[in-house]
Amino acid sequence: MMRALWVGFLLIGTTVWAQEQRTGPAAAPDHAATADKHDDDAQKPPAATGIAADVPVLTVKGLCPTTTAGAERTQSVCQTVVTRAQFEKLFDALRPGMDVESKRHLAKAYPQFLVLAHEAEQRGLDKQPRFEERLDFARLQILSQELMRQVQEEAAQVPTGDVEAYYRKNIAEFELASFERIVIPNRTQLPQPGAAQGNAAEDVMTKKAELLRIHAAAGEDFSELQKQAYAAAGVSGDNAPNPKMDKIRRRSLPPAHASVFDLKPNDVSAVISDPTGHYIYKLEWKGTEPLDAVKNEISKTLRGQRVRKMMESLEQPYTIEVNEAYFGAEANGDAD
């Protein structure tokens, strides 16, 4: 129940932010829980690397609100200046590791925000109850995002030993196998004698599948057998059949077909039938992906598990009651 509400809360906040982007001026990119240093020269255009921290990168002439940090007033010019250091501090807070294109979008959006926010303050919109309510909600949303960012950063510290232990414990996940496969449609499109046309069309293909399996076990070419299957079903195509399935994992197959991974090389499976058709497999090769090839994949899996565990520990002390008289009966189902 707590998990669903937590996710719903974040989705509400995200939706509000997305609506702001669609209805307002060009918007700044939203927060992302990634971590890169903004001094990475690859994230800047070539000329940016020689700009000192105190050099202006954005200047809004004519705007000099007293409430905005960085505003300066001269005898003849009122302007707001944003230096490289200030701008990079801003985008680090919004989206660490921002690429050049995203920075350009932010550079266009931020001055608009400054100008429109200044006008809103002049009109007293920041003193209205609606603004205070939205500000409070934005604070909750940002705090939640910051917590998620911290949880994700902590979860990302996956010990090498955990990766190796997962690999050993779940070695079957990383098995690879190459097969040849014949696909036989469930029913033929060719006319069949007799009144029970539907049953006859299915019976023809069931019998054909068993016959093709005998020929496959005898070593006949799978491409030719696939052509025979299509011909019996009245299926035509311009492309030559390709029965090869090269280096796939067990989970790449439907669950009812996964047992073919237990075949020995050159063994042919029994006919596997399901609502999509009849299938015959021949195992050509089987091996296991090395640990080095799947380390990143395992780390990602473990990070996800660690995030879920951390969130469960945060949510566990709390329960939520929903007033169904107000929200309606469906609210209780959504919260569980």
Q: Over the stretch 94-152, which tens digit does the pLDDT of each residue have?
A: 877 778 888 889 999 999 999 999 999 999 999 999 999 999 999 999 999 999 999 99
What's the pLDDT band for 334 if we cut at 50, 70, 90? low
Mean pLDDT, range 74-97, rounded to an integer:
82
Evaluated on CA atoms 18, 20, 23, 28, the torsion sign reads negative
* φ, ψ (nearest 5 deg) of residue 177: -150, 150
* Domain segments of the chain as ranges: 2-156, 171-288
The reported pLDDT for the residue numbered 305 is: 96
Comparing C-alpha atoms, which of 306, 307, 267 is closest to residue 283? 267
C-alpha distances in Å from residue 298, one per residue of 21, 164, 173, 175, 306: 36, 9, 11, 14, 12
CA–centroid distance for 336 within its chain: 24
C-alpha 240/C-alpha 223 separation (Å) is 8
Residue 238 CB-density burial (10 A; 0-12 exposed, 13-18 middle, 19+ buried): exposed
Reported as a pLDDT band with limits 50, 70 and 90, residue 238 is: low
pLDDT exceeds 80 at position 23: no
Rounded-to-integer distance, Cα 176 and Cα 245, Å:
11
Report residue 66's pLDDT band, with 50, 70 and 90 as the boundaries: low
Q: What is the mean pLDDT of residues 174-202?
A: 85
Contact between residue 284 and residue 266 where contact means Cβ atoms under 8 Å apart: yes
CATH number of 171-288: 3.10.50.40
Predicted structure pTM score:
0.65
In the structure, what pLDDT confidence band is assigned to residue 73 with cuts at 50, 70 and 90? very low
Longest CA–CA separation in the chain, Å: 101
What are the angstrom distances between the C-alpha of 66 and each of 115, 121, 282, 304, 332?
13, 11, 77, 45, 48
Measured CA to CA in angstroms, residue 3 lies from 16, 94, 147, 307, 310 at distances of: 20, 25, 15, 12, 12
pLDDT at residue 75, as a whole number: 44
Residue 198 CA: distances (Å) to CA of 102, 161, 185, 327: 59, 58, 13, 51
In this prediction, residue 69 has a pLDDT band, given cuts at 50, 70 and 90, of very low
What local confidence, expressed as pLDDT, does residue 50 receive? Answer: 81
Helices (H), the chain: 2-23, 84-94, 100-122, 129-155, 160-169, 197-217, 222-233, 291-315, 324-327, 330-335
CB 40 within 8 A of CB 156: no
